[in-house]
C-alpha cells in the first residue's frame, strides 16, 4: 500500500517516518519538493517527494497534514485526482494563523471536519492524528504499556478500518469514535485534545467501548 501525505512538516514528516519504518511507501506532496531531499535520505528509500497531485495520484490512501487555511486551494488542486479515495485529515484550525477559514470552522459547532468535507465531497474523510502533538507522536510511538490513543471518526467503515490499521502500524492505539459527526468530540477544546491520553483513557473520556 502506498500512502500520499500532503505536507511534510511536523505532523506529515513524523507520521510519514513511522509509516516508512512500518514498511509502507510514502509520497510527500509539497510546494517545494526539492527542499525535502536531505530529509528523504533518512527514509531508507521508502519515501518520495513531489507535488500534491503526485502524492495523491499514486496513493491508496492520503493523509492531510497541511495548514488548515490551505484547504480551499489544496482541495481545488487535488479534488479530481483524489476522487473517492480515503483521506485521513489531521488538520486543525489554529487562530489567528488560519484566518477567516479557520475561524469559521471553529465557530460551526458541528465539527471542523464539516468545513473540509464539502470541499472534497467524494472523498472518504476520516479525522485522524488531529489531537496529538508531533513531539508526542515522535517520542511515544510503539511505547510499552498502554499506547497513546488516536481518536478516529468517519462515515465510511472501510476507510475507518484502514485508518485504524495505519494508526496501529504507526505505533498508537486507534479509538474509533463513530461517524464524522462524532469528530467534534475530539476537536480543539475537547478534553482529549492535546491531552496525551492513552487509548483506554481516550475510550473512557469519550464513552467508547
Ligand atoms: N504540529 C502538531 O503537533 C500538530 C498536531 C495535530 C494537528 N496538527 C495540524 O496538522 C497540520 C500540519 O501541522 P504541522 O505542524 O505539521 O505544520 P508544518 O510543520 O508547518 O508543515 C506544513 C506542511 O504543509 C506544507 N504547506 C504549507 N503551506 C501549504 C500550502 N499553502 N499548500 C500546501 N502545502 C502547504 C508545507 O510544505 P511546503 O511549504 O513546502 O508546501 C509543510 O510541509 C496543521 O493543520 C496542524 O494544525 C499539528
pLDDT digits (tens, 9 = 90+) for 9-32: 999 999 999 999 999 999 999 999
Query: Has this prediction a pTM greater than 0.95?
Result: yes
Quick one: pLDDT band at residue 46, thresholds 50, 70, 90? very high
Distance, CA of 55 to CA of 46 (rounded, Å): 13
CA 181 to ligand 1 centroid distance, Å: 24
User: What per-residue confidence (pLDDT) applies to 185?
Assistant: 98
Quick one: pLDDT band at residue 161, thresholds 50, 70, 90? very high
Distance, CA of 91 to CA of 129 (rounded, Å): 8
Which residues have any ligand 1 atom within 6 Å of their CB?
A: 7-12, 30-32, 65-68, 70, 74, 90-92, 94, 130, 133-134
Contact 38, 96 (CB under 8 A): no
Contact 149, 200 (CB under 8 A): yes
The overall average pLDDT reported for the chain is 97
Quick one: pLDDT band at residue 179, thresholds 50, 70, 90? very high
Interval 188-204: pLDDT, tens? 999 999 999 999 999 99
Residue 143 has pLDDT above 90, yes or no: yes
Mean pLDDT for the stretch of residues 85-107? 98
For 63, phi then psi, to 5°, come to -110, 130
CA 67 to ligand 1 centroid distance, Å: 4
Identify the CA nearest to 208 among candidates 156, 149, 121.
Answer: 149
For 154, phi then psi, to 5°, come to -170, 160
Sequence-distant (≥ 6) Cβ neighbours of residue 111 within 8 angstroms: 127, 180, 181, 183, 184, 187
Write out the three cell numbers for 201. Answer: 483513557
Distance, CA of 15 to CA of 117 (rounded, Å): 22
Its sign, for the CA torsion 130, 132, 136, 140, is negative
Mean pLDDT for the stretch of residues 43-70? 96
Contact 90, 3 (CB under 8 A): no
Residue 44 has pLDDT above 90, yes or no: no
3-state class (DSSP) for residue 171? coil
Which CATH superfamily, name and number, covers 2-206? NAD(P)-binding Rossmann-like Domain (3.40.50.720)
Closest Cα to atom 19 of ligand 1: 9
Residue 58 sits at the vertex; the CA angle it makes with 53 and 64, to the nearest 5 degrees, is 55
Identify the CA nearest to 153 among candidates 120, 128, 187.
Answer: 128
Amino acid at each position: 500500500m502506498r500512502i500520499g501525505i500532503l505536507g511534510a512538516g511536523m505532523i506529515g514528516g513524523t507520521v510519514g517516518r513511522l509509516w516508512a519504518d512500518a514498511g509502507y511507501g510514502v509520497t510527500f506532496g509539497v510546494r517545494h519538493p526539492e527542499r525535502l531531499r536531505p530529509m528523504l535520505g533518512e527514509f531508507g528509500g521508502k519515501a518520495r517527494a513531489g507535488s500534491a497531485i503526485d502524492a495523491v495520484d499514486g496513493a491508496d490512501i492520503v493523509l492531510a497534514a497541511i495548514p488548515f487555511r490551505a484547504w480551499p486551494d489544496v482541495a481545488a488542486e487535488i479534488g479530481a485526482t483524489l476522487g473517492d479515495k480515503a483521506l485521513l485529515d489531521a488538520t486543525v484550525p489554529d487562530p489567528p494563523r488560519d484566518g477567516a477559514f479557520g475561524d469559521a470552522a471553529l465557530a460551526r459547532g458541528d465539527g471542523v471536519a464539516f468545513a473540509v468535507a464539502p470541499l472534497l465531497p467524494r472523498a472518504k474523510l476520516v479525522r485522524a492524528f488531529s489531537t496529538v502533538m508531533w513531539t508526542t507522536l515522535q517520542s511515544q510511538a510503539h511505547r510499552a504499556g498502554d499506547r497513546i490513543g488516536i481518536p478516529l471518526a468517519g462515515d465510511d467503515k472501510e476507510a475507518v478500518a484502514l485508518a485504524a490499521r495505519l494508526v496501529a502500524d504507526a505505533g498508537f492505539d486507534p479509538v474509533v469514535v463513530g461517524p464524522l459527526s462524532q469528530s467534534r468530540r475530539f476537536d480543539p477544546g475537547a478534553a482529549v485534545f492535546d491531552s496525551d491520553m492513552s487509548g483506554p483513557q481516550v475510550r473512557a473520556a469519550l464513552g467508547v467501548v
